[in-house]
């Protein structure tokens, strides 16, 4: 958490977030996201199909279900800030428990 509190942006991989790589990592991604420790959802795409496909549409729908209109920030505002070199604000995330 000290990284997040100091303004480091945390990226979640879309495939992990939607459960392509198992429910354990999916649950962790959900906890990170809803507790302020996921700022960008991005692709680890290596091809247009298969397990390493982008999965961005599915990830967006899921994020919208969890965060409502706040999902826009993960897919547009924060990535745009990164590209433009705009620093992230200091964020105080919630503490999470994995068990």
Within 8 A by CB and 6+ apart from 70, the residues are none
Is residue 91 assigned to a domain?
no
Contact 18, 58 (CB under 8 A): yes
DSSP string, 37-71: ---EEE---SSSSSTTS--HHHHHHHHHHHHGGGH
Question: What is the model's pLDDT at position 91?
Answer: 66
Q: pTM, whole model, 2 decimals?
A: 0.82
Q: Which neighbouring-strand residues pair with 14? A: none
Domain count, the chain: 1
Question: What is the model's pLDDT at position 99?
Answer: 53
Contact 17, 48 (CB under 8 A): no
Per-residue pLDDT of the chain (99 residues; tens, 9 = 90+): 677 777 778 899 999 999 998 999 999 999 999 888 888 999 887 777 776 778 899 999 999 999 998 899 899 998 998 899 887 666 677 776 655
Is residue 56 assigned to a domain?
yes
Question: What is the model's pLDDT at position 65?
Answer: 94
Give the residue numbers spanning the domain of 21.
2-83
């Amino acid at each position: 958490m000290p990284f997040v509190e100091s303004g480091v942006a945390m990226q979640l991989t879309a495939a992990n977030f939607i459960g392509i790589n198992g429910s354990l990592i999916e649950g962790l991604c959900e906890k990170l996201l809803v507790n302020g420790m996921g700022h960008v959802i991005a692709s680890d795409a290596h091809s247009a199909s298969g397990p390493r496909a982008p999965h961005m549409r599915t990830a967006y729908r899921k994020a919208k279900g969890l965060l409502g209109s706040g999902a826009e920030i993960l897919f547009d505002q924060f990535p745009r800030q990164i590209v433009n070199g705009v620093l992230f604000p200091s964020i105080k995330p919630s503490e999470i428990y994995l068990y």
